[in-house]
Amino acid sequence: SDDRKGAGRPFELMSKERKMFAGLPELGISNGEDLKETLTNCTEPLKAIDQFQMENGILLPTLQSALPFLDLHGTPRLEFHQSVFDELRDKLMERVATIAEGKEEDRYGKLEELLEKSFPLVKMPSIQPVVMQVLKHLPKVPEKKLKLVMADKELYKVCAVEVKRQIWQDNQALFGDEVSPLLKQYIVEKEAALFSSDLSILHNFFSPSPKTRRQGEVVLKLTQMIGKNVKLYDMVLQFLRTLFLRTRNVHYCTLRAELLMSLHDLDISEICSVDPCHKFTWCLDACIREKFVDGKRARELQGFLDGVKKGQEQVLGDLSMILCDPFACNTLVLSIMRNLQELLSQDSLPRDSPDLMLLLRMLSLGQGAWDMIDSQVFKEPRLDLEVVTRFLPAMMSVVVDDHTFTVEQKLPSEEKSSLSYPTTLPETFNRYLQENRVACEMGLYYVLHIAKLRNKNALQRLLPGLVETYNDMAFGDIFLHLLTGHLTLLSDEFGSEEFCSVVFDGFLLTSFSSKENVHRHTLRMLLHLHHKVLPSYMETLTKTLEPPKQVGFLSTFRLKTKRTQYSVPPTHRGDSPAHRQSERPFSWHTTNQRIQWLRRPTALLLRLRMLSRIRQRPRGSESFRRS
């Protein structure tokens, strides 16, 4: 292999030399090949070298007498010429920037003239920065030059984003190739946040402020790629609509809003002024920051919705995407819950509150985003009034039941009735949870509200009712992420078998076998609460949660960890890189491995088992110390 490497070196050197002098012959400047030819054909090499230096050196008469002094100081001519070249190149690049920023009418004409002279040297590494600087400052690079840059992978890679924008705007497929990895990365980051091993009611998926979220790597990169180019912005929006339609993933809706507001932060008026959703998104962004839609902003938002003119109904498609953003939905439903509490304290009916009706209207528009874009029928979905006249009263009756029972418990014993806490839910409440997505969303947030209040009785009554919901919304990642965080407030209740039975048997584990995400969220919660759960119930849970198809893997894992623990060489060890990789000792303390394994449900289960066994062993025993 060393021979092969050695054989390739002359070719690499030749290639390097070609790049070093690329383009010089086209400008009539001698290069290394010319010198080689001169020395091959001449009879007096020293005179030929002097002549070559005279013709191709710095054409400054006063310099010729000074060069011998550098020779006396031992300074090589190459070093001198290189330093002069670097200095001139830096000055030239500064001059290009000055011309571009100036106010001369013919400044772009000067740059185009310089581009014509320098472009033949674009592949010459020492001159390439100058050419790229000129290309960067030209608002419209000649199409021929753009095509040459696009066709050469190395040139395309090093050219400035300003040049790439001009290439992308006429090459949607190429732009899509650049954007696609960023969109994938964005979704991975959102899912990682939802499945994070951190579990807290204070720091959850919705904790970061809108401005903080806009500082994310993907949003900043996309903003830079788009710049002020409306055409590229429209392309990204089209990518997001297409991906949302294909995957139903609501995180694309979040990115649509974040991207617009990131451009707003940079005051890119060229785009913000032409996006009809800008002012609506700006107002909604302020509401998301406060996690509440107040009366003034509600009227502003209503004005935008009512202001959609005939013939511009397509705007509703983008508005619905912005309202479908989980951060927007979260703000709307929290505002609805707060509004309902105020109405309850004032003995007012929901249908008499214009603010509540507007919030429901926007929630309905957001929930119907996918259907609207899919059908291309841009018409605001009609809100089912029975949600207001039947579902909300049914939900309020659950609140009244709970309040009545709480007051009853505070009465003196002689005044107490034999009233027991209701265990079933109103039939209307259950039916709307199953049949109406707006009602279902409100019902789920009511459950979160109850969990936040640490109301065990109401929670035990509500959770079984979530097994069957509209489109299985109760088993969505966002709700489960929030619910598991809220349940940590009731950690002491997990010592009761009755409460565990309701949470796990009555809700979470009813659907886990067909939904891996439920499995993962359950394990996330147990990692934090396993020490509170009854040991006997914990053992049952680990058996129930064990994936049946991976039992063999668990046995293999135990065997492998045992071998590495006692340094016993495994039998039939292969010598391939794959074998060597697979036989590396496993350690939870290796950070990368730990992160990788924490993402797998099986690894979470193994950690739970280890922790459970440690709990069950006496602290002073030898077996405990070994474990």
pLDDT at residue number 477: 96
pLDDT band at 335 (very low <50, low <70, confident <90, very high): very high
Minimum mean pLDDT range among 214-218, 540-544, 568-572, 612-616: 568-572
Q: Which residue has the higher pLDDT, 261 or 598?
A: 261
Minimum mean pLDDT range among 12-26, 75-89, 106-120, 550-564: 550-564
User: Tokens 């065990």 identify what position?
Assistant: 456
pLDDT at residue number 38: 78
Q: What six digits make up the tokens of 419?
A: 């009233």
Residue 572, sorted as left (phi over 0), alpha (psi -120 to 50) or beta, turns out to be left
CA–CA separation, 128 and 68 (whole Å):
32
Sign of the torsion formed by the C-alpha atoms of 208, 209, 215 and 217: positive
Cβ neighbors of 602 (< 8 A, separation 6 or more) are 547, 550, 553, 554
pLDDT at residue number 418: 66
DSSP state, 576? S
pLDDT at residue number 67: 78
Candidates 291, 193, 204, 209; CA nearest to 488 is 204
Q: How many CB atoms lie within 10 A of CB 218?
A: 21
pLDDT at residue number 264: 97
Q: What six digits make up the tokens of 115?
A: 């581009």
pLDDT at residue number 536: 84
Q: Containing H/E element for 520?
A: helix 516-529
Mean pLDDT within 278-292: 97
Given a cut of 60, whether residue 620 has pLDDT beyond it is: no
pLDDT at residue number 387: 95
Q: Which residue has the higher pLDDT, 496 or 46?
A: 496
pLDDT at residue number 623: 42
pLDDT at residue number 1: 42
User: Tokens 């495994």 identify what position?
Assistant: 570
DSSP state, 505? I
Average pLDDT over all residues of the chain = 83
pLDDT at residue number 598: 44
pLDDT at residue number 136: 93
Of the chain, the percentage scoring pLDDT greater than 90 comes to 54
pLDDT at residue number 102: 80
DSSP state, 619? T
Mean pLDDT within 38-65: 77
pLDDT band at 610 (very low <50, low <70, confident <90, very high): low
Q: How many CA atoms lie within 13 A of 112 on its CB side?
A: 10
DSSP state, 509? G
Minimum mean pLDDT range among 109-113, 172-176, 199-203: 199-203
Minimum mean pLDDT range among 2-11, 26-35, 331-340: 2-11
Mean pLDDT within 75-95: 87
pLDDT at residue number 554: 45
CA–CA separation, 559 and 565 (whole Å):
10
CA–CA separation, 438 and 361 (whole Å):
10
DSSP states of 186-224: HHHHHHHHHT-S---SSSSTT-S-HHHHTTSHHHHHHHH
Q: Which residue has the higher pLDDT, 345 or 581?
A: 345
> What phi, psi does 88 have (nearest 5°)?
-65, -40
In three-state form (DSSP H/G/I as H, E/B as E, the rest C), the secondary structure along 251-289 is: HHHHHHHHHHHHHHHCCCHHHHCCCCCHHHHHHHHHHHH
pLDDT band at 411 (very low <50, low <70, confident <90, very high): confident
pLDDT band at 570 (very low <50, low <70, confident <90, very high): very low
Three-state DSSP state, 334? helix
Candidate ranges 25-39, 243-257, 376-390; pick with highest mean pLDDT: 243-257
pLDDT at residue number 616: 55
Given a cut of 90, whether residue 551 has pLDDT beyond it is: no
Mean pLDDT within 316-340: 97
CA–CA separation, 487 and 474 (whole Å):
15
pLDDT at residue number 27: 63
pLDDT at residue number 615: 56
Q: What is the pLDDT of residues 506-544, one digit of tens each?
A: 999 886 556 889 989 999 999 999 899 988 888 888 888
CA–CA separation, 156 and 132 (whole Å):
10
pLDDT at residue number 41: 81
Q: How far is CA 190 from the centre of its chain?
A: 5
pLDDT at residue number 301: 95
pLDDT at residue number 545: 82
Q: Containing H/E element for 577?
A: helix 577-582
